């Protein structure tokens, strides 16, 4: 009898902890048709439909080490499974950096039009408008979303077949 009471108390405590964690994270929760809990979120999705699929592209070798990054030629970006702030990446097209106060590049160098076009394309593809996150994914590799990692292919001088990471 004492064992049953103890198990019921433990179950209630675990249930309360679960409810507190859900409320603490402030995530909208709904019950699925089968009674399971589905947590909705506002994650960023890829704007391109269909998204560029880099599944068969080789992986970049950076400083002599194979990585899980790939080169997305259409946006002139190295992409990876880790999301970093999109302006940190897109400002790589700005020769003199990005001025957050003004919201523009300081200098694009001698080829202003090309730099501006590449910055705009990067920003338009990866800016997380209306969704949560620091960047929107710009490509996919099998089931892995890929986010902008660095501007141009400077950090992807050579490639090798991808290993399983």
Cβ neighbour number for residue 1 with a 10 Å cutoff? 5
What are the domain boundaries of the chain? 2-39, 59-160
pLDDT in tens, 4-16: 887 787 878 877 6
d(CA 16, CA 63): 50
Q: How confident is the model at residue 39 (pLDDT cuts 50, 70, 90)?
A: very low
pTM: 0.69
The pLDDT of residue 72: 95
The pLDDT of residue 111: 61
- Whether 17 has a pLDDT exceeding 90, the answer reads no
Cβ neighbours for 2, distance < 8 A, ≥ 6 positions apart = none
Cβ neighbours for 157, distance < 8 A, ≥ 6 positions apart = 60, 61
Instruction: Tell me what the pLDDT averaged over the chain comes to.
Output: 80
- Whether 165 has a pLDDT exceeding 80, the answer reads no
d(CA 162, CA 68): 7
Q: How confident is the model at residue 115 (pLDDT cuts 50, 70, 90)?
A: confident
pLDDT in tens, 41-67: 566 777 777 889 999 999 999 998 999
Give the DSSP H or E segment for 110: none
% of the chain at pLDDT higher than 70: 78
Cβ neighbour number for residue 90 with a 10 Å cutoff? 26
Query: 149: buried, middle or exposed (CB in 10 Å: 19+, 13-18, 0-12)?
Result: buried
Report whether 125 contacts 75 (CB < 8 A): yes
The pLDDT of residue 51: 85
Question: 53 forms bridges with which residues in the sheet?
Answer: 140
The pLDDT of residue 22: 57
The pLDDT of residue 42: 65
């Amino acid at each position: 009898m004492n064992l049953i009471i103890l198990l019921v108390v433990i179950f209630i405590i675990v249930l309360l902890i679960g409810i507190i964690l859900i409320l603490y994270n402030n995530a909208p929760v709904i019950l699925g048709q089968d009674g399971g809990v589905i947590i909705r979120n506002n994650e960023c999705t890829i704007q391109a439909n269909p998204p560029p699929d880099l599944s068969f592209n080789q992986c970049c070798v950076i400083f002599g080490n194979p990585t899980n990054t790939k080169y997305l030629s259409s946006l002139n970006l190295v992409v990876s499974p880790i999301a970093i702030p999109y302006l940190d990446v897109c400002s790589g097209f700005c020769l003199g950096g990005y001025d957050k106060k003004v919201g523009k590049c300081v200098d694009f160098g001698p080829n202003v039009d090309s730099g501006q076009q590449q910055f705009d394309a990067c920003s338009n593809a990866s800016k997380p408008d209306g969704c949560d996150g620091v960047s929107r994914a710009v490509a996919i590799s099998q089931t892995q979303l890929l986010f902008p990692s660095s501007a141009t292919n400077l950090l992807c001088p050579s490639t090798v077949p991808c290993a399983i990471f």
